[in-house]
Homo-oligomer: A and B are copies of this chain.
């Protein structure tokens, strides 16, 4: 493929991914209650999916430093949405879980977002969505391989 063609694809991708992400964030912001930021919603979501979960796991899943996790979960704990529970057998570890309020808030938010996505999805054939996600996940796999390749250099 020639350079011109590649540049055009780069422009298309950067433009559309920027716009879709931005709009996605704004739509989610509209759905979630004012007490949560989008990042905080993602964190709640992750903790709930893990069941029990530690700071280190969040740090690795979100590719951020553990100190960033500490401040994020401090904010969530301050709002009474999550709780820390010290592990008995290894007292360095703190397990995170949603409080009753956190779980309820997440449940409501998930419901709203589900409805929103449902309405968007009516514009697509199921096959088109799946094909799109397949390519997207293939790209994701390539990134994983690139990262592994890079780590082996070290």
Q: Is the CB of B143 within 8 A of A9?
A: no
Within 8 Å of chain B (Cβ to Cβ): is A140?
yes
Determine whether the beta carbon of B21 is less than 8 Å from that of A17.
Answer: yes
Q: Is A66 an interface residue (CB 8 A)?
A: no
Q: How many copies does the complex hold?
A: 2
Question: Distance (Å) between the CB of A112 and the closest chain B CB?
Answer: 12
A35: min CB distance to chain B, Å: 21
Given contacts A1-B126, A16-B133, A17-B21, contact A121 B63 (CB under 8 A): no
**A142 cross-chain contacts in B, Cβ below 8 A:** 120, 123
- A29-41: contact bitstring with B at CB < 8 Å (1 yes, 0 no)? 0000000000000
Complex CA–CA separation, A129 to B138 (angstroms): 11
**A-B contacts besides A21-B21, A27-B146, A120-B146, 16 pairs, CB < 8 Å:** A1-B118, A6-B114, A7-B114, A9-B121, A9-B129, A10-B113, A12-B133, A13-B136, A16-B133, A16-B136, A17-B21, A17-B24, A20-B140, A23-B143, A24-B143, A124-B135
